Chains A and B, each alone.
Chain A
Amino acid sequence: MSGELLFEAVLFGVLLGGFYAAVSMGLSVSFGLLDVPHVAHPAMMVLGAYCTWLLVGFGLDPIVAGVVLMPAFFLLGVALYRFYYEAFERRGSEAAVRGIAFFFGLALIIEVGLMLGFGVDQRMVEAAYIGRSLSFGEIRLPMRTLVVFGAALVLTAGLTLYMSKTFTGRAIKAVAQDEPALRLMGANPVRIKQWAFGIATAVAAVAGAMLIIIGPVEPGMDRVYIGRTFAVVVLAGLGSMTGTVAAGLLLGVTESIVLIHPDLGASWAPAVSFLLLLIVLGARPQGLFGR
């Protein structure tokens, strides 16, 4: 395995890792901060990917389409959280188990809905930057990964700034840390959580746009990403935005290196991500940057 190949792999892993981080960002908020067992987050992302496909059919650029979808998905997220809160969170800890089952069922329903609406074939989008690559000497990087990485950076920066600089952002962090105190200060935690969940879902829409830029999508894709996103979020340490980026990059690079390793090879790449997860859970469950 040559040094050049390894360098390219690491580079590509970083780009892919940025994508993984962006995809997990929404889960970092909904699960990491709000403690909602949102296994339907990847399904939301796939839904976002299909909606992007629809809008691209009308002539929009995929990233633009993703942004356009954000308000609608925000509202969807708000409604979803509201429903979850009324049906489960309110009813106490025993209902937590059913909460997980609920999201699981929701993911299934979304999956089938997409199958019924769009058929079982895969869908892809076209854009000027899909299919071309940038060359740096012998190294060729696909433009679609560069674009997605750029978008991921913007998204991460935006979200981190939002969480630390704005009032609602800080309120979200506060509600994660100490809900009773927040209540005492007069803020309504349920409304804040609703807002946060809405943001997380809006982010999922953009993640979906990125997903369909990276490659074709099909309705069952959410299953693969359940593991990946949760692995990133757990590795990061719940609720840490910067941690999500670091964990995403780590996952991307690890996968990329394993992919080119002559012995381990591509067969083991997805399992390695999960092995990483199990190791972290066993050795340092609070993750890399956890509280």
Chain B
Amino acid sequence: MKFWIGVAVAFGAAAATAAFVDFDYFFFAAYTVLMFVMLATAWNILGGYAGYVNFGTPAFFGLGAYTAAVLYKAFALPLGLQIAAAALMSGLLGLVAGLLTLRLRGIFFAIATIALTVIMETLFINWRYAGGATGLQLLRPPPMAPFESYIKMLFVLMVGMALASIALARYVERSWLGRGLRALRDSEEAAESSGVPTLKLKVFACTLSGALMGACGAPMPMYLSFIEPASTFNLNYAVGALASPMIGGTAHWLGPVIGALVLSSLQQLVTVTISNEMNVLVVGVLLVFFVVVAPDGILGLLKRIFSRK
């Protein structure tokens, strides 16, 4: 119950901010941070709960973005339907990729996800209708009522989507699905022999994870009014989605949220202050630091601090 109150409060706060605050920069920056919250949460469903590292976040995210862009260009589809279609496509990709490679060990799945990203990027570079290598410029429609500004609408939308993904991740974590995933993460062989349907669970997690990443990518073409392959399939999405749960903590749904909030906000700050290659260094150092020193992430550190009392 507490959780749902929290969700309502968060969403209410977001809506209020959109209604009364007139500070565009906040909304642009916050959109990016929230995007990473959603990506990290989605990543963690497979990466944290099941223990399968996915380097291919850009493949799912990018496929979602391009699905939305192409459908918008072809049919002027409204944003809600774009998101649904994107989730479907990326979920399908997750399903197929999962079936193909989740039978193997974790590292093979990880490499396969890199392969996915390259193949996706090549596909879209070669598809002239979607803009090819030159990219596609899109004219935004007017924002839907009651919003007057498009970016405010996107902000509230992303808050909603992030909250929905968190709720989904929490549900998975607490249900038998989560228990099964944890079992196979700790020892796949033991889980198999106890009758846990490991392959089905893994594929499910991969599909869900992919679908959420795709949905997250769908509003991106509208955010930028522009889409092109190199920046859409950028490795930074892979890094952010992976590093945030590692920093925040992978065992609990709150971990990716904290990790993404910390990391992405830090990155936003660095972009407008120190503002250069330091950005990548920050992520790299934080990742290594947390992975080595605090394997349970910020959440783990907090637990240790509070349990000492």
**A and B assemble together:** yes
How long is the Cα–Cα vector from A31 to B283 in the complex, in angstroms?
Answer: 25
Q: Say yes or no for B185: interface residue by CB 8 A criterion.
A: yes
Residues of A within 8 A of B125 (CB): 267
Residues of A within 8 A of B284 (CB): 105-109, 111-112
Residues of B within 8 A of A116 (CB): 277, 281
Q: Is the interface of A mostly helix, strand, loop or mixed?
A: helix
Q: Given A97-B53, A267-B126, A268-B126: A105 and B287 within 8 A (CB)? A: yes
How long is the Cα–Cα vector from A151 to B110 in the complex, in angstroms?
Answer: 31
Q: Say yes or no for B81: interface residue by CB 8 A criterion.
A: no
Could you tell me the distance in whole angstroms from the C-beta of B79 to the nearest C-beta in chain A? 31
- Interchain CB contact under 8 A, B280 and A112: yes
Which chain B residue has the least Cβ–Cβ distance from A84?
B292
Which segment, of A156-164, A223-231, A240-248, faces chain B? A223-231
**Interface size grouping (class) on chain A:** 35 or more
Q: Which residues in window 43-95 of B have CB below 8 A to A?
A: 47, 51-53, 55
How long is the Cα–Cα vector from A111 to B250 in the complex, in angstroms?
Answer: 26
Q: Given A97-B51, A278-B100: A112 and B115 within 8 A (CB)? A: no
Q: Given A94-B186, A95-B295, A100-B53: A112 and B118 within 8 A (CB)? A: no
Q: Say yes or no for B242: interface residue by CB 8 A criterion.
A: yes
Residues of A within 8 A of B278 (CB): 112
Q: Given A101-B291, A267-B125, A274-B118: A112 and B235 within 8 A (CB)? A: no
**A residues adjacent to B (C-beta < 8 A):** 31, 37, 87, 91, 93-98, 100-102, 104-109, 111-113, 115-116, 223, 226-227, 230-231, 234, 267-268, 270-271, 274-275, 277-278, 281-282, 285
A-B contact pairs, 28 of them (CB 8 A): A87-B292, A96-B51, A96-B106, A97-B250, A98-B246, A101-B53, A101-B243, A106-B284, A108-B283, A109-B281, A109-B284, A111-B284, A112-B281, A116-B277, A223-B235, A230-B111, A231-B115, A234-B111, A267-B122, A267-B126, A270-B122, A271-B118, A274-B116, A274-B119, A277-B111, A278-B100, A278-B101, A281-B108
